[in-house]
Amino acid sequence: MAYSGDRMSTASERAIAGWITILFLLGLPSCGAQNVGSVADVFVADDTGDATWGEEHSPDQCGNGEIEAGEQCDDGNLYSGDGCSAACVVENAQWHVESPATSPCARQSLAMVYHSVRGLVVLFGGGATLGGPEATLNDLWTLEALTWFEATPASSPTGRNGHGLAYDSQRDRLVLFGGGWIPPSDPLYVCRNDTWEHDGVEWTEVTPQISPRARRFLAMAYDAARGRLVLFGGSDWDDGFVYLGDTWEYDGEQWLEISPVNSPSPRAWHAMTYDSDRGRVVLFGGWDDYDFLSDTWEYDGVQWSEKSPALSPSVRANHTLAYDSDRGRVVLFGGYNYGLYNDTWEYDGEQWREITPTARPPERNNASMVYDAGRGMIVLFGGKGALGEFLGDTWTYGY
Ligand SMILES: [Ca+2]
Ligand SMILES: [Ca+2]
């Protein structure tokens, strides 16, 4: 069923379809929809202001486009909610917990991507407990106007976690690669190297001549300017816990291994996102089998370059990254380094800066985060919390 068809069905129809789909495809108890609306909404409305010259502003100072005495910023207007307030004070983005009526079940190591043609956030798979040991999911959800809908394609890839998911906007296809599958009969992960595409209605497995080797906890991002999907690293647990440092590109037909002169070291549980304004894939951190990492790298389609920001988030893995294309910032949240984080950082292509919002999601790792360009908000879902619990909360981050 298409995304749009789901939106027209009733909540009960969707719930029934969700149960049937998961039971059929996984042979496991459904992790079904659940209400996460019990958490109080901590959103504090912005002072939206207006373009008139108010008495509280000095008409020849704030709003004239020049930073003067007593001003933290001046963006040439008297609007708040755009990074510089009507009082010429710097505004930081804030986290808001959302309360959708229905949600994907609590999970970690899921993948989310923004479908720019349809204006939807898409979520696929991850690991959930389902009341027993961790099991891998293959459900497909969309988030539109802060409402989650489960899609019901006729067939699906196997369940998996730590997979790669990207949206090829030139071809209008979701592309899924690899990840770890836990067969229902066997508690051990099986690393995958299959490539699937979703056209908005159905999943189709594609069969390129060459594929990257099987792996999980890889990172993938779509370079929209070049029309190439970029994959880096991950680990192959089927073959001696090998950590990978290879760079691959997928053009919709073939996977091609790139051989850049410089490259980040082999690693997994790192994170990547695409800075569409600068045309760079940005990578941060991860785990290389010996150490947690805090290095920042950029890939321009030819070379990887290590950046030297004065400050960086601390060493970590299992964190999330997303690029806010309206504010021109890579946003990092959370992660793990023998303890969990819930700090928020922003990277402008030169420097990392820690943001200290008044509210923030609880500490976690293995969450997923994506920028919903239609709403102008980062969306975060799920992960694993401080007590080892799987999380199913939806948060947004923006002005
Ligand atoms: Ca001014
Ligand atoms: Ca402003």
Neighbours of ion ligand 1 (CB under 5 A): 61, 64, 66, 68, 74
Mean pLDDT calculated for residue range 77-93: 92
Please give the domain boundaries of the chain with CATH numbers for all domains: 10-53 (no CATH), 94-398 (2.120.10.80)
Closest ligand to residue 83's CA: 2
Task: Say how many Å lie between the CA of residue 42 and the centre of ligand 2.
Answer: 23
pLDDT over 90 (residue 213)? yes
The ligand placed nearest to the CA atom of residue 66 is: 1
**What is the 69 CA–ligand 1 centroid distance (Å)?**
8
Mean pLDDT, range 293-310, rounded to an integer: 98
| Rounded distance from Cα 93 to ligand 2 centre (Å) | 13
| Euclidean distance between CA atoms 125 and 14, whole angstroms | 17
Percent of the chain past pLDDT 90, that is, above it, reads 78
Write out the DSSP string of 251-306.
Answer: -SS-EEEE--SS-PPS-BS-EEEEETTTTEEEEEEEE-SS-EEEEEEEE-SS-EEE
350-392 pLDDT, tens digit each? 999 999 999 999 999 999 999 999 999 999 999 999 999 999 9
Note the ligand closest to the C-alpha atom of 79. 2
pTM: 0.84
pLDDT band, residue 238 (cuts 50/70/90): confident
**pLDDT above 60 for 42:** no
- Is residue 29 classed as helix, strand or coil in its secondary structure? coil
pLDDT band per the 50, 70, 90 thresholds, residue 34: very low
Among the residue ranges 56-70, 126-140, 170-184, 327-341, the one predicted with the least confidence is: 56-70
Ligand number nearest to the C-alpha of 57: 1
User: How close is the Cα of 71 to the center of ligand 2, in Å?
Assistant: 12
Is the CB of residue 353 less than 8 Å from the CB of residue 84?
A: no
Q: Compute how many other C-beta atoms are within 10 angstroms of the C-beta atom of residue 23.
A: 13
From the CA of 84, how far away is ligand 1's center (Å)?
11
Pick the ligand that lies closest to the CA of residue 84.
2
**Residue 144 has what pLDDT?**
94
CA of 130 to the centre of ligand 1 (A): 56
Mean pLDDT of the 10-39 span: 39
